[in-house]
Chain A
C-alpha cells in the first residue's frame, strides 16, 4: 500500500509540526508513506473566493504529484473535501476522478482504511474538539447536529484511545468557528465574533487544549486565544494521536 502524504500549503509553511506528526503517526502504524516534494496547494483558497477557473494548473500539478499512489492522506478535512469535489483535469479526467476517490482525511483514513482499534499515545490534558465544518458536514467525519441519525465521530473515537486525555462536551458541538478562508478578513467582524464564541464555549468547559482536524480553524482560534493572553493552547488531532510523552 503506497500512501502519499498531502500537506496543505499553510501547514507546510506555518505548522510543520502537524505534518511531521502525521508522517510519524502513519509510520508508527506501519504505513509506507512518501511525500511528493513538488506539491504546493490544492487550489481551495482561490476556488472558495470565486476563482476556481484559475486553479487549472494547480489541479494538473496535484494530479502529476499524486496520481501513482494507492491512497492520498492529508491532515485537513477542508483541503481533502476540496480535492474530492473540485479536482478536475482537461487532459486526463479519468485520473482526476480516480484521485477524487482515493484522497482521505487523516482520521477518516485511520478509521475506515487502517481500521485502527488502538493507538499508543499519551496526552494527559482536558481537551475540547472543534469540529471543522468541511470535515464534519462535507466528509461526514461525525454525526451532524442538524441530521436525525445515529451518533458517531471518527475523530472522537480516535481521541478516546489516547491515554490520559479527557474530552469535554461543548454547548454547541458543531458550530462553525468563523475562519472560512478569505471570509476571515472580508467579513472580519462576524468572523472574529464567531471565533470569540467558539473560544468561550471551550474555555467555559475548562479545556486546556482545543483540537481539531483542520489547522486553518485552529490558526484562527489560536490567533484569538493568544490575543486574549489565554492559557488554552491548540493542537492538531495528529499531534495528539502521535504524542508519546
Chain B
C-alpha cells in the first residue's frame, strides 16, 4: 500500500512491497489460488484453446473493421433511444459525464466497476466539481474508502486482508472494532450502499461488451450492483473504450464463457446484464472514449493489446505481479497487460513497466484473447531504448558488451575472458554494491573456460 511520492519506479515500489515477506507470501498465494481456479475451470472445457482462438480472431476482425462497427453500433443505439457521446481524451470524457450530471442538478451518484473511468480519473474530476461518487462494487468501495486506486482490475482490494478491512469499516462505517468476519462486513457494506442506491438519480456503469448489431451493452458483475444502480436511477451513463465492440450478439457465447473462467474460475459471472434502451422516463447515455486507442490501432506490433477484455488472468499468473503488488505498476491497469498499455499513453512516465517482467510468457498463455503480451513487452523495451528512455550507464554497458561480443579475438584469445564478461554483465561483479550479491553467491570461476578446454582436448576438430 506504499504510495509515497518519493518512490517512483516499479523496482523501488516492489522493493518496498517486499519489506514484509509474510505479506508477499500471502499476496502470492491468494492470487495463485485464483490462477488454479482458472486452470480447473479451463480444463473442464475440452475446446478451451479453440475458444481462445475464436475470441482472438473475432477481436482481430473488430480491430480491423472498427470504424464500420462503431458507426453501426452508434446507429443502433440512436434507434434504441440511447444518447451517444464521443470523447477523444479523458478530459473530454470527464466533462461529458459531468455535463450530464450537472444538467440533472445532482450532487450524489453511484458507479459500478469501470476500468475506463479509472483510466480517465473520473472520480477525482467529479469530486473536484462537487459531485460525490460512491463506487458500488464492494472491492472498489473498500479502496475508495481507503483513498487508494484499485490494485487489480477484477479484484480491486486483493492487497487488503480482512482484518484491515474490518478496521477500515470501523473507521468509516462504524462497525464494531475488531470484527473482521467477511459475512458481517459484507452486510455492513450492503446496508451502507443500499441507502446510496435508493437516493442516487444518476448511475454510471462500465461496459464489458458492446454489441454492434443490436446497439446493446453488456455489463458483467457478481454483486448485481450495476443493475441495482441503473434500475433505481433516472439517468444511466455507460462509459466504454472504443475497443469494447463485438460484432454480433451470438459472439457473447464465446466471450462470456471465457471472461469469468479466466478472471476468477467461475463458469460465468453472477449477472450478465444487457442494457439496450432506456426504460420509459429514463435517460441512457453511452460515452465512447478513444484516449490513444486509434493511435494504437496503427501499430502492427502493439495493436493486439486492444483485444483485452479486462479479465485480469495475466495478473493472477504473473510471478512478478504476485510478488510486487498492483500499486507497484503506478497505472490504473497493473500487471503484464498494464505494462504494455501504459507506455502507449506516456512513454517517459511508464518506461519502467516493460522491464518489470522476466518475459516468462505465462501471461500470453492464460490470455483468453491470445494477446502476445510478453512479445509486446520485449518490443516495448526496444522502442523505449530507441527513444532514449534508459539509464545512460546501462546504455554504455550494453553497447560495450555488444562490441566485445562481436569480436571473437578480444572475447576468446585475450586471456581476460572472465574479466571481460564481468565488466559488462553487472550481475557478475563480486562486491557488496552489486545487487546480485545481496542475497546470492557469485558463480565460482572454473580453472579454465570451455573454449580453453576444447583447444587442449579436441582442437583437431575445431575450425
Is this pair of chains taken from one and the same complex? yes
Q: Are A189's CB and B446's CB within 8 A?
A: no
Taking a contact as CB atoms closer than 8 A, the residue among B323, B436, B449 that contacts A184 in the complex is: B436
**Known contacts A146-B362, A187-B14, A197-B28; is A227 also within 8 Å of B412 by CB?**
no
B24 partner residues in chain A, CB cutoff 8 A: 193
User: How many residues of A are counted as interface, with CB atoms below 8 angstroms from the partner's CB atoms?
Assistant: 79
Does A232 reach chain B (CB closer than 8 Å)?
A: no
Q: For the complex formed, measure the closest distance between the CB of B245 and the CB atoms of chain A, giving whole angstroms.
A: 27
CA distance A184 to B450 in the complex (A): 25
Does A175 reach chain B (CB closer than 8 Å)?
A: yes
Does B32 reach chain A (CB closer than 8 Å)?
A: yes
Closest to B390 in A: A50
Does B427 reach chain A (CB closer than 8 Å)?
A: yes
Q: Is the interface of B mostly helix, strand, loop or mixed?
A: helix
Does B1 reach chain A (CB closer than 8 Å)?
A: no
B435 partner residues in chain A, CB cutoff 8 A: 184-186, 188
B444 partner residues in chain A, CB cutoff 8 A: 14
Chain B 439-463: CB-based contact to A (< 8 A → 1; otherwise 0): 1111111101111111100100111
* A-B interface contact total, Cβ < 8 Å: 235
CA distance A194 to B378 in the complex (A): 20
Does B3 reach chain A (CB closer than 8 Å)?
A: no
**Which chain A residues in 104-148 approach chain B with CB under 8 Å?**
133-134, 137-138, 144-148
CA distance A38 to B454 in the complex (A): 12
Range class of the B interface residue count:
35 or more
Q: Are A49's CB and B438's CB within 8 A?
A: no
Q: Are A190's CB and B385's CB within 8 A?
A: no
Question: A: which residues have CB within 8 A of B?
Answer: 7, 9-17, 19-20, 23, 33-41, 43, 45-55, 57-58, 60-61, 133-134, 137-138, 144-149, 172, 174-176, 178-197, 219-220, 222-224, 226-227
6 pairs of A and B residues whose beta carbons are closest in the complex: A223-B440, A180-B358, A57-B406, A50-B381, A50-B385, A146-B365
Question: B: which residues have CB within 8 A of A?
Answer: 10-11, 14-15, 17-18, 21, 24, 28, 32, 39, 42-43, 45-46, 48-49, 317, 319-320, 323-324, 355-362, 364-366, 378, 381-382, 384-386, 390, 394-395, 398-399, 401-408, 411-412, 417-418, 421, 425-427, 434-436, 438-446, 448-455, 458, 461-463
